[in-house]
A and B are shown apart, each in its own frame.
Chain A
């Protein structure tokens, strides 16, 4: 038996069409000339992209999301990467238990985490603030960074670091001159995914957003709940293109299946 066979390939092809359908439709719809969601559109134009450019709330939400995602990415790497290094290279007792402790937040649905954060942040007046949203997103991104970078560090051959040590490099010099340069592709991929995770995070943001501070997905949810016109499709195209860029970068650097899988 060679390859997948005709029956299986056709079945898979059908499912692929289904997977891609919503994304393809959104892209087509973004260029619609109609006033409402009609498919196929009666005509094509760029009017919804122009409308998007003039839509204040969505643009300021987009800007807020970019700010939050940037801060979240930097902070998550700053505290996640050292932890991953320790978990991957350290040989202290209780390491496995600690690894489980750090990855635990990935197991809990964001619905529960979001609720817990809402209850915690409200008396602290952190809801609907940039610090609150950043901290909220980090409950997802920090464990993600730790998981991805622990794998990246553990797959480095120990001998290369040992070699640097025998050549006279102090421990922190080994990290700087050998370990970090060698995981750079993984680090960049991790940063890209981290940004995307924060940028797309919806449920925790819905719990923590107020009228003053709403991230882009939150603003989009509100918009879709209120009306259905192709404006959101135009915005979606922007997001899809951004996602594709991240996917291509990550795929080139480390392979997407390895990065998002376990």
Chain B
């Protein structure tokens, strides 16, 4: 196939990405320089007034802390749960390995709304956990597990796990089984082998997976919205509120760009960490 003519096949997709992705994204940046007039109508201008207002607002600061804290706890929880699964999939000789890998990844293909609904049924006032605890007499009044930070953290952790398992599996590529065998042959117990060989070697993979999980958590909207029941405020929910309910586009745009910058910094940090750990 002649190479010069192949280039033209890029044209439709190129036009699409330019018109429906690149141009609107530029528009988002443009909107951040607009202002909201006293009536709530948007005023087209080129000013940093909205940016200054948003950055000076203590609510922005609170949202940022909320987002970071939520993402951190969800990521750590997901990491702790994903690591054994990924290591298991990496190590196992089971003939069901393929099936088990599919099951681990499958949740990312099932609608987020469906999974959130499942968590409502597990963690709700009359859900699985509370009815079990009550039937064993552990508690008298139901525990509040959803429509608060606990529920959102659990739901978010579950939703990012498939991505983190994939990232960990990809990162384990350099984890040579013979190194563990060498450690065992030199007299180390399985636990010592894990602590001295396996864990140090998988640190770069863990850093990358953590970075990915953190970014996904920061930009998640559905889970905080539904499992938070209107009581959990993070950057993502605020962006959506400002854009739709309040139709305050300049503020929504500034918040979106602000979030994007945070994400980029976090990604850069996790890549740096992964590289540093690899050495």
Contact = CB atoms under 8 A, between A and B. Distances in A.
A83 B102 contact: no
Contact of B112 (A115, A165, A202): A202
Contacts of A220: 111, 113-114, 117
B117 A236 contact: yes
Nearest to A171: B1
B192 interface: no
Contact of B20 (A21, A26, A138, A257): A138
B84 A8 contact: yes
Interface in B105-124: 105-122, 124
Contact of B110 (A40, A240, A261): A240
Given A1-B181, A39-B127, A83 B10 contact: yes
A92 B108 CA distance: 36
B103 interface: yes
B57 interface: no
Contacts of B104: 16, 19
Contacts, number: 285
Contact of B28 (A25, A89, A119): A119
B165 to A, nearest CB: 9
Contact of B13 (A79, A110, A225, A261): A79
Contact of B107 (A2, A3, A23, A29): A23
B249 interface: yes
Contacts of B10: 82-83, 86-87, 98, 102
Given A40-B131, A90-B3, A224-B116, A142 B16 contact: yes
A166 to B, nearest CB: 13
A81 to B, nearest CB: 9
A111 B81 contact: no
B102 A247 contact: yes
Given A5-B190, A146-B13, A257-B166, A240 B114 contact: yes
Task: Provide the main secondary structure of the chain A interface.
Answer: helix
Interface in B218-245: 218-219, 221-222, 225-226, 236, 239-240, 243-244
Contacts of A151: none
Which one of A22, A25, A262 has the highest number of Cβ atoms from chain B below 10 Å of its Cβ?
A22
Interface string B1-38: 11111111110111011001101110110010000000
B258 to A, nearest CB: 11
Nearest to A237: B114
A12 interface: yes
A194 interface: no
A82 B82 CA distance: 37
B212 to A, nearest CB: 11
Contact of B222 (A4, A82, A221, A257): A221
B88 A9 contact: yes
B87 A207 contact: no
B131 A4 contact: no
B209 interface: no
Interface size class of B (residues with CB under 8 A): 35 or more
Interface size class of A (residues with CB under 8 A): 35 or more
Contacts of A102: 10, 13-14, 17
Contacts of B122: 21-22, 25, 39
A129 interface: no
Contacts of A113: 21, 24-25
Which one of B105, B109, B181 has the highest number of Cβ atoms from chain A below 10 Å of its Cβ?
B109
A37 B1 contact: no
Interface string B63-85: 00000000000000000011011
Interface string A6-41: 011101100110111111111001000000111110
A66 interface: no
A256 interface: yes
B243 A8 contact: no
Interface of A: 1-5, 7-9, 11-12, 15-16, 18-26, 29, 36-40, 78-80, 82-83, 85-87, 89-92, 98, 101-102, 104-105, 108-113, 115-120, 135-136, 138-139, 142-143, 146, 161, 165, 171, 174-175, 193, 196, 199-200, 202-203, 206-207, 217, 220-221, 224-225, 228, 232-233, 236, 239-240, 243-244, 246-247, 251, 255-257, 260-262
The 9 closest A-B pairs by CB, nearest first: A22-B118, A109-B219, A12-B88, A120-B24, A83-B13, A82-B9, A11-B84, A90-B6, A116-B24
Given A203-B222, A220-B117, 6 more contacts: A8-B84, A40-B128, A111-B236, A175-B1, A236-B113, A257-B101
29 contacts: A3-B92, A12-B89, A21-B128, A25-B121, A26-B117, A39-B121, A83-B10, A89-B3, A89-B6, A92-B7, A111-B219, A111-B256, A112-B259, A116-B27, A117-B24, A120-B20, A136-B20, A200-B110, A200-B111, A207-B243, A207-B244, A221-B225, A221-B226, A224-B120, A236-B113, A240-B110, A243-B106, A260-B108, A261-B170
